[in-house]
Amino acid sequence: MTSDTQNPVDAEAVVRQASHWIQPLRSEIGRYLIGQSDLVDRLLISLMVKGHILLEGVPGLAKTLALKTLASLVNAKFNRIQFTPDMLPADIVGTEIYDPREARFRVKHGPVFANFILADEINRAPAKVQSALLEAMQEKQVTIGEQTFALPSPFFVLATQNPLEQEGTYPLPEAQLDRFMMKVVMDYPTEDEEMRVLDLAGTTEEMPVPQPIVSLEAIQQARTVVNSLYLDEKVKRYIVRMVHATRRPDDYGVHVAPLIRVGASPRATINLALAGRAHAFLNGRAYVTPHDVKSVALDVLRHRVTVTYEAEAEGLNSEKIVTRILDELPVP
């Protein structure tokens, strides 16, 4: 399918065929995960375009359950890595172990060799350990000794992060934050949602293990279709203007320049286009609208904009400033 020559009707049919598993997958996850539909969509968006997610939220919001359930439903290997201050990079990627019987070193793969990785409390570990995972995310490979090993495909990381004001944390530098396609902030469930959680999980009985309903091959086929979705020049210009408005907001009629220390990088531009395509795919369309881009923009930009001390003094964080840019920037 090519975006330039494909008949619109045919293009929609291709998208419907490639995305037929999306709604059944959402429904099945909803049996285990209550009230986190936005998180599920962000997981699917990142999976479609080979992105990774940084997830921030208080303990007990089913972050592990979300990724573990998704891994079971797509028949993917899942590993959870608990980050701690005494970790070493080898605890993630693996190491060489000497075998005295054969008088040689052999490689032992670390837990990063899986399709879905939950990097729990990533900011509990020092920078060199964080970097080991982020290198794997970027390069889709790791080096152990003198050998380089490709990571499984698909390879997706969901990293959770504690609030930075807690003691014993190592905040991710801006350059490392930029490696994450999205930063998603989880909130508490509503009263009705928590009632459903109580009905579902308020028992000592084990929940049945989710059974696979979509193959990794189907996900790869969906990725190919996502890459071919039509992205109009006006939408591309909207993406570029959105990112530039975080660098020179006055040029776009958004007067927040004194509040921004560092704007979003070109990687944000690329990720907005990718996430916009995936959002359109999840909604069964063969073309990307400005609404698709705006729907994912806060998650793509919130961790890429650094605020000034003046903004902090006024109680403004990057999320509030990005929201203001999105609200005031004209939509084509």
Please write the tens of the pLDDT for every residue from 121-167: 888 888 888 888 888 888 899 888 888 899 998 899 999 987 655 66
pLDDT value at residue 166: 65
Please write the tens of the pLDDT for every residue from 166-191: 666 777 877 778 889 999 988 888 88
pLDDT value at residue 9: 59
Nearest to 291 by CA among 332, 232, 233: 332
pLDDT value at residue 111: 93
What is the rounded distance in angstroms from the CA atom of residue 223 to the CA atom of residue 250?
Answer: 37
Record the tokens describing residue 330, joined without a space: 């004209």
pLDDT value at residue 164: 56
Mean pLDDT of 68-93: 90
Judged against a pLDDT cut of 50, whether residue 25 lies above it is answered with: yes
Judged against a pLDDT cut of 50, whether residue 331 lies above it is answered with: yes
Percent of the chain with pLDDT over 90: 42
Structural domains of the chain ordered from first start: 22-213 (3.40.50.300), 230-332 (1.10.8.80)
Judged against a pLDDT cut of 70, whether residue 308 lies above it is answered with: yes
Q: Out of 96-105, 287-296, 300-309, which region has the weakest mean confidence (pLDDT)?
A: 96-105
Query: pTM to 2 decimals?
Result: 0.88
CB 249, CB 325: distance < 8 Å = yes
pLDDT value at residue 98: 81
20/3: higher pLDDT: 20
Coil, strand or helix: which one is 161?
strand
Mean pLDDT of 231-240: 96
pLDDT value at residue 81: 93
The DSSP H or E segment spanning 183 is strand 182-185
Residue whose token pair is 């996430």: 275
Judged against a pLDDT cut of 70, whether residue 296 lies above it is answered with: yes
Coil, strand or helix: which one is 102?
coil
pLDDT value at residue 168: 67
What is the rounded distance in angstroms from the CA atom of residue 38 to the CA atom of residue 324?
Answer: 21
Judged against a pLDDT cut of 50, whether residue 3 lies above it is answered with: no
Residues 6+ apart with CB under 8 A from 184: 38, 39, 42, 53, 54, 55, 56, 299
Judged against a pLDDT cut of 60, whether residue 5 lies above it is answered with: no
Mean pLDDT of 73-96: 90
Judged against a pLDDT cut of 90, whether residue 291 lies above it is answered with: yes
Tell me the pLDDT of the chain averaged across its residues.
Answer: 87
Residues 6+ apart with CB under 8 A from 12: 284, 285, 286
pLDDT value at residue 249: 92
> Residue 67 — very low, low, confident or very high, per pLDDT cuts 50/70/90?
confident
pLDDT value at residue 129: 87
Mean pLDDT comparison of 31-40, 135-144, 212-221, 268-277, highest-scoring range: 268-277
Judged against a pLDDT cut of 90, whether residue 233 lies above it is answered with: yes
pLDDT value at residue 199: 82
